[in-house]
Chains A and B, each alone.
Chain A
Amino acid sequence: MKYKNYKVALILMLTIFLYAMTSFQAPKFVHWASASGSSWDGQFPDASGCAVASVTTERIIYPASSKVEMRHSILCNTLWTRTTNTDSQNRSFYANATFKFNVSPSYYTIPSGGKIAKNQSVFSQQRYSSQPFKSCGLVNLINPIPGPVNSPCTTNY
């Protein structure tokens, strides 16, 4: 009888312990403590869900007729490049978004394929690891724009 009571108390205690351990902000711990962020490397931010919310811009440059941004997903802690046609004369251009990082293959480069209209943009794959990062891109009439684009670029991040 004494042993049975002890067993009941022990089971109750373990249940509470396990419940408590799985309740404390588990997703945050798992996300930041593990290296799973690297699995985002090379994926596109829209397809991976990283571009859905809490996306900020770390860097912007304004080359001719364009805007080149280094975008940052706080959700996934990944970064990528977005190049937008902002031509004041409403012309369509070919575009390229290049994202550079510190290990081989050392860049992702995405040409737009066809011309993109004003207010349209092209974005690169994202990267979690291998800082420093740099965003490069441009719009022009050359097709295809040879990649990777080496200039103009943002300052390093």
Chain B
Amino acid sequence: MNHKKSPSILVALASFTIIAAAIAATVIYFQPRTVSASSARSEQSDPISASAKITTPTSLSALQTQYPVVQNVKGVKMEVIGTSNEGAYFTVDVCYDLPDNKVDFMLGGQYPDYITLSTANETIPVYEIAKIGDFYKDSNGNYIKRCDHLRFPISPDSKLENVTLTISRVATTPAEILDCAKGQKKLDEAKQGIKVKCSDGSDHIGGFQIIEKPKEMDDITADAIAADAFIDIVEGPWVFKLK
């Protein structure tokens, strides 16, 4: 009796093996599709000029050999990989580690003067920050590094001597609709005497307003303290002597 059953079981096992192999092949075939959204976008478009675009570690290495200026502050490695003149702008390309692998960290923050270019005769705040290519990821898919193209407006009178790039901080960006309770809690714990009110997103308005602060505290200080309550920050500075 048992001998009679075995052919059908063998057929079933063989079929199962074939289907399992097909599943494995399907999974392996589709593996590369689990790229990030931004990766998909960078394949579709050319977000930045070819000369500045960095999409592979190979091109990064090529630039690094020309411009190996590296600073490591508080465990965040930052490197200037190139500079150029683009008409009315002096540009600097910078790559940096993303603290805690958080994808929303970036250079600077709310105000342009967190990133400045000092020359022989002036200090110029950044005008534009534009991400270069895709984020870098490790083998586990964690976001580890980002590169940005910084543009500083220069006039014909600008003397590009003793050029120093100073990046005061890397920070996350505030959400469209803030977690007001969380921000207020941070402010209360810091005992700064600041109270804020947040917009709820109606009429597509976000952000916050300060509704109470100590009399002796000026507006700029209060704003900076309150704004920092809604983001994560790694203070630098990272300072690069470029020329």
The 0/1 profile, CB within 8 Å of B marked 1, for residues 124-144 of chain A is 100000011000000000000
B62 at the interface (CB under 8 A from A): no
Is the beta-carbon distance between B12 and A24 smaller than 8 angstroms? no
The answer to whether A155 touches B130 (Cβ under 8 A) is yes
For A54, list chain B residues within 8 Å (CB): 103-104
Binds A, one of B41-49, B72-80, B160-168, B232-240: B41-49
Interface residue B50 (Cβ < 8 Å from any Cβ of A): no
**Chain B contacts for A131, CB-based, 8 A:** 41, 44-45
Alpha-carbon separation in the docked complex, A90 to B206 (Å): 17
Task: Tell me if B128 counts as interface (CB < 8 A to partner A).
Answer: yes
**Which residues from B are CB-within-8-Å of A88?**
220
A-B contact count (CB 8 A): 169
The prevalent SS among residues of A at the interface is: mixed
A13 close to B208 (CB less than 8 A): no
Given contacts A58-B131, A86-B111, contact A16 B175 (CB under 8 A): no
| A150 CB within 8 Å of chain B | no
Interface residues of B in 167-189 (CB under 8 A from A): 173, 175-177
**A6–B30 alpha-carbon span in the complex (Å):** 32
Chain A residue contacts of B191, Cβ below 8 A: none
A-B contacts, 9 of them at CB < 8 A, read: A1-B5, A2-B8, A3-B8, A21-B23, A24-B30, A58-B130, A62-B111, A116-B207, A121-B176
Hey, which bits of chain B sit against chain A, CB under 8 A? 4-5, 7-9, 11-13, 15-16, 19-20, 23, 26-27, 30, 33-34, 36-38, 40-41, 44-45, 47-48, 103-104, 106, 108, 110-112, 125-131, 173, 175-177, 199, 201, 203-210, 219-220, 223, 226-227
New A-B pairs, 17, CB < 8 Å, besides A13-B15, A24-B26, A67-B112? A13-B16, A16-B16, A24-B27, A28-B33, A56-B173, A57-B129, A57-B173, A69-B173, A72-B37, A72-B38, A73-B37, A74-B36, A90-B219, A119-B227, A122-B206, A123-B206, A155-B130
A residues contacting B by CB (< 8 A) are 1-3, 5-6, 9-10, 12-13, 16-17, 20-21, 24-25, 28-29, 32-33, 44-47, 51, 54-62, 67, 69, 71-77, 82, 84-86, 88, 90, 97, 110, 112-113, 116-124, 131-132, 154-157
